[in-house]
Structure formats: C-alpha cells, structure tokens
Chains A and B, each alone.
Chain A
C-alpha cells in the first residue's frame, strides 16, 4: 500500500505492508532517533508526534499515518539541543536511549501547556520510562527548559 506522510515538513511517499508499524517505516527510512524499546506500547522510546500529539510509533499502523504530519526528533533540532543540554547538565543522560522520546514528549507538553506544575510535567511524561536514573535530573532539566523552576 502506498502512503503519503509529511515528515518534519517534508512530503514523503512510502510503500508499506498493511501490518507494518510506523516505527519500522520511519527507522527503515533513516529516522533513527526513534528507538524500539519494549515494542509493546509501554516504554515510550518510540514516541513521535502525529499532527503535534505524541503517540507510540511501535504500535501505530503506518497506513493510518497516511495524509498526516509526523514529527520526529530530527525535525526539532533546535529545541532538542536546548532541552538535551539542560538534561545533560543535570546528569540526566546516562545511556541516552530514552532521551530522544522524552525530549519530543516535553516539546509536545510545552505546546499544550506552557507553564505546567511539577505534577503536570510528571503526568505528561510518565509514559517515558528510563532504566538508568530516578527521573529527578530529567525533571530538573525539563523545568529549566520550561522556565518553571
């Protein structure tokens, strides 16, 4: 099946199988910021934005993205460097596997709710699992990025 997706503001056309998931389509085509962690819609490492909303690309059928806009971390370079640097400064990057998805989720949060409380940040990002740290340095970095320290 042929699908047309706008990825990071670029129109792309792919041939996909009916049972192909978006994470696989995107990774095959060079969008390597998307990680395959659990592959069971639990860990959040495969997060992309679909029409601005964070979704789990490991569980989203590629055919359903037809006609929609997808944003990966590659399309958010500037914000990614800003937030990524702040998380690094707090010591929140260890293996780094979950950082791209956490950054993308935080960017979506910022656009939905510019000045969230600690509870709102935790509620919005609790679908992003990190197996190295205890989430505290990430939260500090996110708060600095959002200007809500």
Chain B
C-alpha cells in the first residue's frame, strides 16, 4: 500500500528546502521510482521538485551544469555532454533498466541519497565534479559522498568541469538491466589519472594509492597491472545477495585494468 497524505508543490528551490526543514515527515520526490519498490510506504508530505526548472543540461563557461531532475535518458543522449570524457557519462547510465525507466529516473536522486549501487556516481567521481546544494552551497562530489553531516539539504545541480580528459567505463552485471555487482571508471588527462570503483556494494570511492602510483609511471602493461592490484587492495568490499566481497575484489582488479588500458590506448 502506498500513500501520500499531502503533496506539496513549491515554486522555488528555497521554498522546497524550507518545507523539508519545517514540515514533519516531509520527503522529496525526484524521479519517484523508489515509490513502487516497497510494499508499504506512507509519505506524510511529499515535496514534488519537478516544477523547479531543474531538468536541463547546460553548457556553462567552463563546466556542464546538470539539473537534479535531468533524466538518465537525457544524460545518455545529450550530444554536448557525451562529446566530452569519451562519452563516459552516457555509457554509465545506458545499462540501467529500460528506456522507459531512464526517461523517469533523475540523476539528482542517486547522488543526493548517495546510493551505493549507483552507476553514474562512479563515472561522475572520476571527473572533476561538484554538487550545488541549496543550503551547503557548492562542494566537491568526493566531499559530499564522504561527509554525512550534509543531510536534509536539496541538491540542485551537478557541476562537471570541462576538460579534455579521456575516460573509460566498466561494469559487471549478472544479466543486462540488473544492478551492477561492481563498476569502475577511469579518467586521464596527461599523467593525472582518477580511478573510481563503486557498487562494492558501498558507494564509489577513489583508489588514491593506485592513482598516485600511476602518476609517476610509464603506463606500460605491468604498471597498469600493479595499479589495478593496488586498487583492489586499498578499497573495501562487502558481501550482499549479488556477490561476495572476494568476488568483488577479484573483479575490481579486472575492471580497473580494462579501464586503464582503454584510456591509455585511446591516445
């Protein structure tokens, strides 16, 4: 049984944020796809943020600004966005269920809620990404994901600095359209590299040891293998119904190595 007692439709992000603070039992509804996933759900006050103009991908002076209500399908098909970073953002969302689902699911929700299983968070974290929140202002995505003191805020935009880095996307699923049992992304600009691994099943994190090791290396096959081993060693993995920690660790090594080779050979 699913119940919304009252639907609030604010006219501005400020108003939406204030409702979230002052109304007991208030929750933000973005794409709304989680609504069908529990058998019993009652929301006293649902704050609908679909009318706030947050549904556009815009090319600003030095970055892309992606509204929280931009759909995964828009991210998948946006030509300007996917002409950067080897199209990694489009690739990271293209395997999420069907086109109908992606036409509804928003990019803001998984990021705001820091969903561990998220594919796009892993890709976003491999780029120079920040989030713009109504109250806390602009913080890096890395800070947002790790600083749990930022809560009950309203995520407005995802900001991605435009640069010429090459990027690669890797994901492992039991079957197409299923959740990732592990995913990885790599971006490279010159010798600077970012390696992220997500769905461990915890949320994406940077493999900083592996990144540092590669910064001063030649990028030959054995350097990349060492970096992939380092990433698998330094990150933590857990067990859930999709996969065991051991399997995830082994597959982390494989996916990171493939992604590293892909960005190296893209040059």
Residues of A within 8 A of B (CB): 1, 17-19, 39-42, 44, 47, 50, 53-56, 58-61, 63-64, 105, 108, 123-128
Contact = CB atoms under 8 A, between A and B. Distances in A.
Interface in B97-137: 97-101, 103-104
18 contacts: A18-B4, A18-B46, A41-B33, A41-B101, A44-B100, A54-B99, A54-B100, A56-B100, A61-B7, A61-B29, A61-B32, A63-B48, A64-B50, A105-B100, A123-B94, A126-B98, A126-B177, A127-B100
A18 B6 contact: yes
Given A44-B100, A126-B177, A127-B101, A19 B3 contact: yes
A60 B106 CA distance: 13
B176 interface: yes
B36 A39 contact: yes
B97 A127 contact: yes
Interface of B: 2-7, 29, 32-33, 35-37, 43, 46, 48, 50, 73, 94, 97-101, 103-104, 176-177
A55 B176 contact: no
A127 B3 CA distance: 26
Nearest to A38: B36
Nearest to B51: A64
A59 B98 contact: no
Contacts of A126: 98, 176-177
Q: Which of A40, A58, A108 has the most CB of B within 10 A?
A: A40
A55 B7 contact: no
Contacts of B46: 18-19
Contact of A64 (B3, B36, B48, B73): B48
A17 B43 CA distance: 13
A19 B100 contact: no
B37 A40 contact: yes
Contacts of A19: 2-4, 7, 43, 46
B7 A63 contact: yes
B250 to A, nearest CB: 28
Nearest to A108: B99
Q: Which of B29, B36, B37, B94 has the most CB of A within 10 A?
A: B36
Contacts of A54: 99-100, 103
Nearest to B6: A18
Contacts of B73: 53
B3 to A, nearest CB: 5
Nearest to B41: A19
Contacts of A124: 99
A126 B112 CA distance: 27
7 nearest CB pairs, A to B: A127-B98, A18-B7, A19-B4, A18-B4, A54-B100, A59-B36, A56-B100
Contacts of B176: 126
A41 B177 CA distance: 12
A35 B218 CA distance: 57
